[in-house]
Amino acid sequence: MNEHSPTSLIIEVAGLTKKVADASGELTILNGIDFTVRTGSTLAIVGASGSGKSTLLGMLAGLDTPSSGSVKINGIDLFSLDEDGRAALRMRQLGFVFQSFQLLAHLTALENVMLPLELRGDHDAKQKAEAMLTRVGLQQRLRHYPKYLSGGEQQRVALARAFVTEPPLLLADEPTGSLDAVTGEAVIRLMFALNREQGSTLVLVTHDASIAAQCEKTITITAGHLVQA
């Protein structure tokens, strides 16, 4: 089946378990997680603080490795790849939005958005970055450094950076966690609009039930277990 078929699976998680050593012996952060995500769909991962949801998101990106189990992205087993292979897959397939924005302070808004394009050798990086920043309403802020931008503006730069490469899969970790309610709502509307425009798959971690309700599917993680799918 073509990976772009609307009925295909972009994420397949099977038996995903993460255990770490702590002072009391062994701590299980995730325990036997199984779920799939259809290409082009939206999924919310919810759960209390410390439930393991951000750890799960990190493993979907191959940024953390499991104790056992597997994650496939577009049919590719992430953990059959070495670190360089996972990095290459992330560059081709993934976009990220973080709670703390993760902008590079010494780069302007334009340069932050150009960076992922330049890393993959895109010769139209500047034009594409300018167009995406205009799309998120920051055409007057292209040459401003992050410290001169509000929190909402910084998160819009982060959205532009995540979407500018048109990744098949976007991962967002508490994207409104550092924003006030009004700004956060505007950012979420923009993120879902961009996702619809590009036809990408969106997986987001949130504690906000109103944000989760906008997704097609929600899974709940409680003490490392998937309790609802």
Q: Where are the domains of the chain?
A: 9-228
Q: Express each pLDDT in 147-162 by its tens digit.
A: 999 999 999 999 999 9
Q: Express each pLDDT in 184-199 by its tens digit.
A: 899 999 999 999 999 9
CA distances from 178 to 21, 39, 151, 187 (A): 30, 29, 7, 11
Q: pLDDT class for 6, splitting at 50, 70, 90?
A: very low
Q: Express each pLDDT in 57-101 by its tens digit.
A: 999 999 999 999 999 999 999 999 999 999 999 988 999 988 888
Could you give the CA distance from residue 129 to residue 113 in angstroms, rounded to a whole number? 5
Is domain 9-228 in CATH 3.30.70.1050, yes or no? no
Mean pLDDT computed over every residue of the chain: 91
Calculate the CA 207 to chain-centre distance. 15
pTM for the model: 0.88
Q: pLDDT class for 22, splitting at 50, 70, 90?
A: confident
